[in-house]
């Protein structure tokens, strides 16, 4: 597998994480066992994720140093928002006393930890890709 293929694969996984996080958080008001996240935070997380994906795909198709740095800034904002949401959930252990209802994806934060730590690692890889100028033009 070439480095370019790995980057595209991770880009697809990032899109899945952004989509699934939106779907999971938008259902949260109907579930017990979750720390509620304000709708504005959920919307900001989704909007920044979609913008990051769009600008990243543009960067991958026509690499430009300035676009790459801007994209990294947007990606890191996205990761920070996601980790803050995850941290809020993890810091409220009493919210996890009862099983989540209506959440058929997973019980507890395991899926969210996987997605957000995966995004942290993926964006760290993207940062190396951009700073080391590894994208084929």
Sign of the four-CA dihedral 89, 24, 28, 82: positive
Which of 135, 105, 124 is CA-nearest to residue 19? 105
Q: What backbone phi and psi angles, to 5 degrees, belong to 34? A: -125, 145
What pLDDT, on the 0 to 100 scale, is given for residue 38?
78
Q: What is the mean pLDDT of each run of 10 residues along the chain (137 residues)?
A: 90 90 68 64 90 95 92 95 84 52 60 87 95 83
N- to C-terminal Cα separation, the chain = 18
Tokens encoding 119: 């995004």
Tokens 């990243």 found at? 56
């Amino acid at each position: 597998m070439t480095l370019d293929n790995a980057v595209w694969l991770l880009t697809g996984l990032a899109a899945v994480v952004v989509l699934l996080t939106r779907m999971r958080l938008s259902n949260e008001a109907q579930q017990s066992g979750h720390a509620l996240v304000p709708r504005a935070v959920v919307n900001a997380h989704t909007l920044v994720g979609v913008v990051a994906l769009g600008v990243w795909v543009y960067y991958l198709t026509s690499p430009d140093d300035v676009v790459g740095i801007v994209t990294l800034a947007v990606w890191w904002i996205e990761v920070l928002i996601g980790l803050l949401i995850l941290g809020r959930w993890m810091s409220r252990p009493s919210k996890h006393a009862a099983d989540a209802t209506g959440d058929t994806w997973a019980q507890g934060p395991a899926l969210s930890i996987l997605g957000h730590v995966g995004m942290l690692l993926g964006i760290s890889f993207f940062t190396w890709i951009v700073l080391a100028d590894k994208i084929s033009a």
